[in-house]
Amino acid sequence: MDASGQPTLDEIEDRFVGLVTGRLPRDEADRWAARWVLEDGIVWDDLSWWALNCLYGIDLPMGESGGYLHDDVQVRAWLAELRKRRGV
Q: Confirm whether 79 is domain-assigned.
A: yes
Q: Confirm whether 4 is domain-assigned.
A: no
Q: Which value, in Å, is the radius of gyration of the alpha carbons in the chain?
A: 13
Q: How far apart are CA 43 and CA 81, in angstroms?
A: 22
What is the predicted pLDDT for the residue at 23? 98
The yes-or-no verdict on residue 65 having pLDDT over 80 is: no
| pTM for this predicted structure | 0.90
Q: Confirm whether 20 is domain-assigned.
A: yes
Q: How far apart are CA 17 and CA 24, in angstroms?
A: 8
Q: Confirm whether 33 is domain-assigned.
A: yes
Q: How many domains does the chain have?
A: 1
pLDDT in tens, 4-60: 688 999 999 999 999 999 999 999 999 999 999 999 889 999 999 999 999 999 999
